[in-house]
Each structure stands twice: as C-alpha cells, then as structure tokens.
Chain A
Amino acid sequence: MKAFNKDIVRSIRHSLGRFVAIAAIVALGTGFYAGLRMTAPDMNLAADAYYDGTALMDIRVVSTLGLTDDDIAALHEVAGVAGVEGAYSADVLATLNDEQYVMRVHSLSPAASASTAQGEATVASDDPDYLNRLTLTEGRWPTEPSECVIFNDRVMSGPTALGDTITVDVSVGDVADTLARTEFTVVGFAHSPLYVSSTSMGTSTIGSGTVEQFMYVLPEDFNPDMPFVEAYVAVEGAADLPADSEAYDTRVAEVVDAIEAIAPEREQARVDGLKAEAQEELDESRAEYEAEEAKAQKELADARAKLAAAKEELDEGERQLKSAASTLEANEKKIRDGEKEYTQGTAKLDKQRNEAESQFKEAQETIEANEKNLSEAEANLPQMRDSLKQVEAALATPGLPDDQKASLKAQKTELEKSIGEIEQARKTLEESKKEVASERKKADAQIEAAQKKLDQAQVDIREGKKRLEEGKAAYKENEQKLADGKADYEQGKADYDKEAAKANEELDKAEQELADAQKEIDEIEPPEWLVMDRSKNFGVVSFENDAARIDAIASFFPFIFFLVAALVALTTMTRMVEEERMLIGTFKALGYSRARITSKYLIYAALAAGIGSVIGIAVLSQVLPWVIMEAYSIVYYVPRSAMPIDWPIALAAAGFGVGITLLATWAAAAATLRETPAALMQPPAPKAGKRILLERIGFLWRRLSFSWKVTFRNIFRYKKRLVMTVIGIAGCTALLLTGLGLQNSINDIIDVQYGELMDYNVVVTEKEDAESDGREAADGILTDAGRLPVAVRATEESIVAPDDAGAFQNLWHFRTREGHEAVSLSDNGAVITEKLAVKLGLAVGDAITFAEQDDLGNATAVTYAVPVTAIIENYIGDYAFMTPAVFERTFGEAPANLTVYARASDDAAERADLSEALRATGAVDTVAFNDEVIDSYKQMLKSVNMVVVVLVVAAAALAFIVLYNLTNINITERAREIATLKVLGFTPREVNAYIFREIVLLTILGALVGLGLGIVLEGFVVVTAEVDQVMFGRTIHWDSFVVAFVLTMVFTAIVMLVMRPKLAKIDMVESLKSNE
C-alpha cells in the first residue's frame, strides 16, 4: 500500500467518530430515501405475487341481464383469454352472532376444494378456470349445501367461530330470486384476493351501502334459474407482467377490447334468447289467458241464463200468487156465504125446533089431559070389572031371571061396552102417545139432522176459515218468497253485472298485461356488458393508492435527511481539513498535487458515505417496507413477499448520498488547498472573535457572564454548524411533530366527529316498503323519551334533508372548522361538508350540482343545482344538508326520509334491547351504532402508531447524529480552550456548561424552527395520506408540540450525557501544547 493510502486508512482509524458520523447520516438519508421509495414497489410486488399466486381475475365481465353458459364459452374463445370462471353472487343482509352485516355471497368454484395452498400467497389448482382462488386459513371447504367459508380478519372478525350460523334476512333485496337457502354454517375462514382491503370491500345497494363481509357458498345454494352474475377472466400472459406496470395495463386493455368486440353479438344473443324464452312464456300465458277468458265468458253466460230462469220462475210465482189471491178471495166469500147460511139455518132450525117443541107441548098437554081423563076412567075400570064380574057371575047364576038376565045382560053389555071404550081410549091414547113420540122422534131426528147439517156447515166453515188462513199465510209466505226471490234476483243481477264488469275489466287488464308483456318483450333492450379490469376492484385500487401515497411521502421526507447529511459532511470535513492543515502543507511541500491531496478527503468521504449508503440501504430498504406493510396489514390482507432491493432506487439513493457528501467535502477542502505550503505550515489565523448584535443591547450584555457571552458569540461564529444543527434538530422535531400530529389528526376523526360534531350514535334505516303500523311502532320506540332524547328522520346517502332541522342540529352540530362558528340550515340552500367542498372546489355562494345516477351508479345528464350557504367541519363522509323545502325545490319531490338518526344509551344491553325491539317491528332495515365505525378508525390509528414509531426512531437518529457530530467537533476544536479553562480552575460542571450551553441553545432554536417545519410537514403528510371520503384532523394539539419539543430536548440531553466523559477526558496538558 502506498504511504498516501496508508495515511487515508489511518485517518479513518484515528477519527472513527467522524467517519461514523458521516456514514451514519448518509445511511439515514439514503436508507430512508431508498426504504420509502422501495416500499411502494415492494407493496406492489407483494400484491402482484398474491394476485398472480391466487389467479386474481384480470377482467370481470358483468352483464345487466346476467351471463349464460354460451356467454362463458364465447369468452373462452376470445383471443388472449386464459381462463374464464362464471360465477354467481348476491348482496344480502345477514346476521352473524347477533350482528348484522352486508355480505356479498359468492359461488365457490368446485375446484376450490381440490386446490392446494403453497404458502400464504399462492394457491395451485389444476383448473385454469378457477380464478380468485381462496386461501383457507382455518376450517375446511364447504362440501354440502348450506355450508360457507367467510372472511376472518383482524378488523371484522369479532367473536366468530367455526360452526357459527349465518342467517340471511329474506326481506332485504331479492333473496328469493337469488339464493336457494338462507341459513349457512361457517365451516371455514378464508382470504380472497378480490377483497384485499377489509375496510373497503366495495359498495352495495343494501344496508349501510358498503360490503362488510364476504361469504363463499356452493353454487347449488344459488337459485338454479339464475344466470351467471359475472364472469372472471384471466388474461394470457398477464401474470408474467407486474400488476402495476403499463405493460400489464396494455395487455389487459387488449383483451378488454377483444371482449368488448364480441360483446354486441353476445348481448344480441342474450336478448334474442331472453326474447324467445319470454315469448314462449308469453304465448303460454296468452293461451292460458284465452282459455281463461273462454271459461270466464262461459261462466258469465251460465250466470246470465240462470238469472233469466230465475226471472221466469219469479214471474210464474207472481202469476200463481195472483191466482192464489183470487182463489183466496173466492173462498173467503164462500165462507162468508156459508156463515150467513149457517146463521140463517141456525135461526130456521131454532124456529122449527121451537115450533116442534110447542106442537109437542100441545100434543103432550092433550095427551096429558087425555091421560088424566083416561086415568080417571081407568080408575073406575077395576070397579067396572068387578061389577062385570059380578054381573057375569050373576048372569052365570043359573036362573037368573031373563029380565034380570036381560037387565044383567044389558048391564053386562053396558059394562062390557064401557070397558071396551076405556080400553079403546087407552089404546088410542097409547097410540097417540106413540104417534107423538114417533112424531117427536121424527122431528127430533129432523132437527138433529138439520143441526148436524148445521154443525157440519160450521165445521166446514171453520175448516174453510182455517184453510183460508193457511192459504193466506201461504200466500203471504209466497209473497215474501217472491219478494225475496225478486231481491235475490236483483242482487244476482247486480252481482252479475258487477262480476261481469269485473271479469271484463280483469280480462281487459290481462289482455293489457299481455299486450304490455308483448311490448316489453318487443322492447327488451340488449343487455350491456360491462368489461372491467382490476381498477374497478376496491381492494386492489385502494392498496395501489396507498402504495402511491407512501411514494408521494417518500419523495418529500428524505429531503431533510439529505440536507442534514450534506451539512454534516460539510462541517465534519471542514474540521478535518482544518485539523490536517499542516499535513496538507507537508504533502504540498512534498510535491503532491492538489488533486491528489484533495482525493484523500474525497476518498475518505466517499468511503464513509459509501459504507453508510450500503448499510443504510441494506437495512432500511428491508425495515421500512416491512414496518409500513406491517402497519397496512391491519387493513389489508396482502401476504408479504420478498422485498428485493430495487437497484435503480438504491443506486440513485447511494449516488445522491455519496454525491452530496463529496460535494460538501470538496467545498470544505478547496479553500484550504488553495493556500501555499508555507502558509499551511503556519497555524491558521484563528477565526477572529466578532461582536454580535446582542452586544449592542449593553444593559443585557453586561449582565451576561463570560460563558454566556462565549456561547452567543460561538453560535454566530460558526454559521455552518449553526445551520447544520438548526436544520438537523428542526428535522428531528418536525418528524416528531409529524408523527404526533398524524396521531392527533386521526384521533380527531373519532374525538371530534363523534365527540363534538355528532351527538347521535345510532342510525336506523327503515324499509322502503314497510307496513305503516310497523313504521309507527318503530317511530314510537325511537321517540321514546327515556331511551332516545332525540330522533330525527332524514334521507340517508349523501343528501340529508331532516324533517326537523332544529332537532337534527341537536344531533349533528354544524360549525366551521376555523373559528367554530355555529352554522344552521336555512331555506336558502345547502350546507356541505368541508372535504366535499375541497374536492369539488366549492366556496360559500357557489352552486353544488347533483347528478341523477343510473342503475349502475354512473352519473347521468340529469342534474340539479343548489347554492351552498355554508361549509362545515366534518371528518367522515361527504354530505350535503338541506331543509326539506330546499330538497323539494331542488329535486322536485319531497325527501323520502327513511333514515332515523337518534341518540341511544351507551349501555350494551340496552342497545341490544333497542335493536331487538326495532327489528321486531318489521319496518326496520338496519340499526347501526357508531361504535363499528369508531372501531375501524381505531384500527387505522394502530397502523399510524407504527408509522409514529418509525418517525420517532428516525428523529432520534437524526438528533443523535447531528448533536454528536456538533459536540464532537466543538470539543475537539476547543480542546485547548477547555484545557485552559480547566487549568484556570473551572469545575467540571462549569466546563460542561461552557460547551453544552451552546448545544442546548442551538437545539432550542432548531426545535422551534422544527415546530414550524413540522406544521408544514404534517400538513403535507395528512393531506397526502388522506383517503377518499375521510378528512383527517387539521389541528396539531398543543401537547403534541410540547411532546415533540421535550423529546428533542431529551435526545439532546442523552447526547450530552454520552459526550460528557469525552469532555472530562480532555487533558489539561493540552493547554501547554502549541497550536498544531
């Protein structure tokens, strides 16, 4: 080794501290630059490895009318297509462990269960059509219907376990048309490359509007009538290209174009197929309709005939009734006549009977008189008989004289005559008696017969009357019946008319429907194929955007380190050149050229910077991407892959680091090298003391002790060191403040948004088609004063038009961010949120324009404008607020207001009750508490914490290097001075103060500058790191300033503690030596 080179090696060995200082700052600068710059490529590389390993689709084809097997086959045929997977999917609202999630249900390819995972990022499968391959983290694949695998990540998972049941809410969306089953058992947990971000999984039309969970089920679990919802396409050769490269984009765009080229044909085929199918169905319907119509017409005719018959019957009945009425009348007359006759008969009979009676009485009386006479005569009869007997006896006495015999004979004849007469009278009487009796009997019989006849007549009359009554009743009944029949008939007729009208109407309607259906079929628009590349996948895009954000920060941050590195190199090398002044003179005197001598310092610096670069890049290009990706892994699932050193970046970083060091070195050496060897042999003219501005303020200056005076003069004497220290320390403080401020900013999202701006903590969305009583019940629960102090309905989505603006502002406080001036809603226009205003470039007084969305969410040409009356502080989401009046004026319709904002209890059990009660009403779609949102931001905060740690470490490193270097230079340069002070009897404490006071003052100055710089840096980082729809807090809290400042001071104190022994070691004997 040449002597000169030996000198270089020894220089390094003898001033290792200096060498290390340069190496360290260059390591920090280049390492930070390279590490941060490589992070984005590393992230993209990891993403690419994961996407390729899991065969993430390059293109997703969605048709507005679904895709058929033919479509899938046609896609296969497209040039450049390597694989196509037709898949089903549906968004559902599902309950898992009492929590509701918006879940996207996907069909799991049958190839999944045969696939094998190779590490975290690669899944091998024999089926080239199996795309978006899942990696199973736990459990097994679904093998039976009703089994599913779901996403299980750190943010969402909660207490999910294998075997849990997921229940799909059938009332939301069109579950019936899409899913064959609604209960699923979790049999595994998986990651899907379609969802690398757990916080942005995509948007949905149901529930909260964002997909919160995914679920893969067997295709059988989907409705068998459903066409494929989407087709995933793998592009040939795309996997070989980096996913973030233009080559990839170009390759995919070619295939997108090719697919779009076949799209019209497929769209036509689809519409033709659908039309044919629909036409067939319609024709069937029409035939059915016609049959139905004929049937209906026949039924109507039947009804009509029946009615006519009924009418006939009724008329007949009426006629009969009429004749019955006349018969009844005749009968009545007959009865009346009979009665008259009967009465007359009775009277005649009575007269006859009386006549007969009086005749009989007369005859009786005659008989009785005859009887009496007879009886008197008969009373003499025995005497006469006796007299006769005596006569006869006397006659019989023989001999009686004939005169006596003749007198006796005459007496006997007399007697016999009298007796004969009496007996004759008796006979006659008995005969007349008999005659009378028979006469009576005859009369009686006659009377009796008449009576009988009369009685019969009476019975007949009674019977006739009864019959008449019966006839009358029957008549009445019939009359009623007829009336009823008539009424029935009328009713029937009316009914018929109505039925007929209805039937006709229905038929007309059916006819119309058929016509409409026909028209619809005729008018079926060809479906639209949407051919989307990965840029439409939320996870892929947000991961890419986050990588780009890191890159944006990376291009700004390391600037500080490079600047400080340059300054450190400059001061250090200046000092080195100064120290070696005589050596340089000697070299010069020995005849070494200026370039050769300069080369020593350049080689020295280049070695230091080179070693620093290598170490810095080697370490930080691994550590920084690792830390940042680790931080991101909280929200992204992208397995880390190898983090290769990106040579262009590494070389650029190293080149820049070494370059500025060399430049600084050259600047430091040039002036000295220009001097003559003779001058160089002399000690340098000591840098003269100079008066500083402060001395002009005499009263102040005089009060200062000499050490303060020295301090102040020193600070301004070595301007390079002042700049280096101030910038270095400012950088340190700024980094600290940036980290802490970033934490503040994200904390503010939660603390300010949910602590100060929003007083509601629950958002309830009601079903659009809810029953009104269910809705009332829900409203009742929501306005229950004890539970919810305030509840206000409003439209959800981005436009909020609360029913009661005043009450709403009790739940959502409107104020400006700067000045916290209260803002209220007015009928003059809309109030919009700050981030929205910034994004749209709107100021108060401008008009904000809303565009109508089509079914696919694209803006249409239909727009509405409304003036902006105020811009309010808001951190999460973009909103426009307006009164219902303004809403109506703007959109021409009243707001639907299905969303209720309310304040619920903080108690978990009460909340669960509330959810339960609300869901029980059946009118409620979702009940969302803010906690879930807060949780996801807390996760975000965790990832920021890691970044803060990196920043604090970087800040500390920066402070240590700068302060160590400064102190080191100060101490070596002032060794004589310090030794002198020691000889003069300064105590160690006084000596420390003499040196360190300067450092402390510079640090304070640097820290103050750093606080200012930090505000700028933090502002830049916050704006760059901000994601869509979220505004980070814009204020750094005062305690962050304090912490950043104090921490900087602590770093300084540590450096001073480390350097104290070095100061103590300075030998007093130094003071006796000559200036070198």
Chain B
Amino acid sequence: MAFVEFRDVSKIYQMGEVQVAAVRDMSFDIEQGEFVVIVGPSGAGKTTLLNMLGGMDTATSGVIMLDGDTVSAYNKKQLTRYRRYDIGFVFQFYNLVQNLTACENVELASQICRDPLPADEVLVAVGLSERVRNFPGQLSGGEQQRVAIARALAKNPKLLLCDEPTGALDYETGKAILKLLQDTCRDTGRTVVVVTHNSAFTAIANRVIHVREGSVASVELNEAPLSAEVLEW
C-alpha cells in the first residue's frame, strides 16, 4: 500500500441546478519519501486536490488515504487533528502572522503538535539563524517563505504540502526555496508535495502527476531528478 492513495476521488460543487466537478475520479499514489510535483494549468483542479489532501476540504466521493489512515472518512474534528499532526503546509503568500517574529511564527505551529522539532533548530536548518527575532515585515519574501517552511517542518508532519511556494518570489529566491524543499526531502526523507503550474519543476521531482480538467492526465516517475540548483525556467 502506497503512503498516499487517491482512489476515484471526486469533488463536485452544486452551483444552483448545475453540478460542477472540480475533480473527477482522480486516482494516484505517492510513496513515502518522494518529492512529488503536481502540475497542471489554472483551473485543472490542482488546488481542490491539494485542499482535499491537506484536510481543508472533503471529497464528494472516493477514498483518500495517508499512511494507512482513511482521511476521506474523517469528520471535522478528525480533520483538524489531521492537519495539526500530519500535515505541514507552505502557502504561496507565506501566510505568516505579522505580529509574531520568525521564531514565534514557527512556535505557533510547534506549540500545538505532539512531537515538534525545536523551532530554533528548524530555523537554522532553513538558513535563518540570523533573523530569528525579526518580524515578517522585516524579512524579504524568500526569507518569509523560509520561515513558512520552517513553520511547516517544525510540526514534524508526515506530509509537507506546498502550494505554488515560489509563486510570489523572484527567480533566484524561488530556486533557493525549491532547493530547500528538495534538500528537506532528500535529507530527512520527508514526503514533499509541491503543487505548481510551472512544468519546469517536474524535472526535480521523483514523481510527477499531471492534472488536467479535474483528472489525472498522467503520472510519471523520474528515476534521476535534477537538483533544484541546476534547474532553469
């Protein structure tokens, strides 16, 4: 059994009398420790997929499993626990709490989970040892995203989900962030899922899931992914 399993997952919105399927009968697997890139154009259902995988939304039908647990069967409370203990989330716009310092933003996450990694260590690991006591407003975009990654990692999650992590960043910084994510995957064996519209990123993934019009168009495994450092787009 795969680490993450999507089996015939559909998400259908009722818009008045019309049913709109954001995701239809989507199935794929992700193995533990993989660096996965989910790629597709805008409106292909990437975000819906991510929401369901991240426990932010429920599937209309189908089964989602993580590490043997059936996430799709969770109620609201269980979903909260799932997000709390199993998922680390990195947002496109970092979503740091402006009123907390870098360190405190990391603690924000670590203080609520069972087995957190020490905040300062994580910050050192993402290369922010100097900016620990700065507020987000005092950090550059890349630094903020590093804090966000640190925040996600500090929770020691089973799965790190990243939604367009470089979307708001310039090229170089984006690359550095990708590298950080790839290194995290490689060094800690944590499963990392990156959702992006940029198909260039597929080169650095172990597994690439192409999404189109709410369905999985193809899944390809990359035996020798490139290092993010050499990636160009």
Show the binding face of A for B, using Cβ within 8 Å.
Answer: 685-690, 705-706, 709-710, 713-714, 717, 976-977, 979-988, 990, 1068-1069, 1071-1075
Contacts and interface: CB of A to CB of B under 8 A. Distances in A.
Contact of B56 (A990, A1068, A1073): A1068
**Across chains A and B, which 7 residue pairs bring their CB atoms closest together, nearest first?**
A985-B84, A688-B137, A689-B135, A985-B83, A980-B95, A1068-B56, A713-B99
Summarize A's interface: helix, strand, loop or mixed.
helix
Given A685-B137, A985-B85, A1069 B100 contact: no
B83 A706 contact: no
Contact of B93 (A705, A982, A986, A1074): A1074
A692 B95 CA distance: 22
Interface string B96-119: 011111001001110111000000
Contacts of A980: 91, 95, 97
Contact of A706 (B47, B81, B93, B107): B107
A849 B92 CA distance: 86
B136 interface: yes
B89 interface: yes
Contact of A686 (B80, B104, B137, B155): B137
A986 B104 CA distance: 16
Contacts of A717: 99
Given A710-B97, A1075-B93, A705 B109 contact: no
Given A686-B98, A985-B84, A1072 B104 contact: no
Nearest to B137: A688
A985 B137 contact: no
Contacts of A709: 99-100, 104
Nearest to B164: A1072
A997 to B, nearest CB: 13
B5 interface: no
B143 interface: no
B173 interface: no
A988 B80 CA distance: 9
Contacts of B83: 982-985
Contacts of A1068: 51, 56-57
A321 B97 CA distance: 150
B149 to A, nearest CB: 13
B44 interface: no
14 contacts: A686-B137, A687-B98, A689-B137, A706-B104, A709-B99, A710-B100, A977-B97, A982-B56, A985-B112, A987-B77, A987-B84, A1068-B56, A1069-B56, A1074-B168
Given A713-B99, A1069-B51, 4 more contacts: A689-B99, A690-B135, A714-B99, A980-B95
Contacts of A988: 80
Interface in B117-164: 135-138, 151, 155, 163
Contacts of A689: 98-101, 135-137
Contacts of B137: 685-689
Contact of A984 (B89, B98, B135): B89
A706 to B, nearest CB: 5
Contacts of B64: none
Nearest to A711: B99
Nearest to B56: A1068
A983 B50 CA distance: 12
B211 interface: no
B54 interface: yes
B89 to A, nearest CB: 5
A984 B112 contact: yes
Contacts of A687: 98, 137
Contact of A986 (B57, B85, B112, B168): B112
Given A709-B100, A985-B84, A688 B108 contact: no
Contact of A1072 (B47, B82, B84, B112): B47
A714 B151 CA distance: 21
Interface string B24-39: 0000000000000000
A976 B138 contact: no
Contact of B135 (A688, A976, A983, A1073): A688
Contacts of B151: 984
Contacts of B208: none
Given A688-B135, A717-B99, A985 B104 contact: no
B28 to A, nearest CB: 21
Nearest to B138: A688
B87 interface: yes
Given A706-B108, A984-B83, A688 B56 contact: no
A987 B80 contact: yes
Contacts of B51: 1068-1069, 1072
Nearest to B83: A985
A553 B113 CA distance: 57
Contacts of A983: 54, 56, 83, 89, 91, 95
A582 to B, nearest CB: 15
Contacts of A710: 97, 99-100
Contacts of B101: 689
A529 to B, nearest CB: 81
A709 B97 CA distance: 11
Interface in B40-71: 47, 51, 54, 56-57
Contacts of A688: 98, 135, 137-138
A54 B87 CA distance: 84
Nearest to B157: A985
B84 A984 contact: yes
Interface in B175-193: none
Contacts of B138: 688
Contacts of B95: 976-977, 979-980, 983, 1071
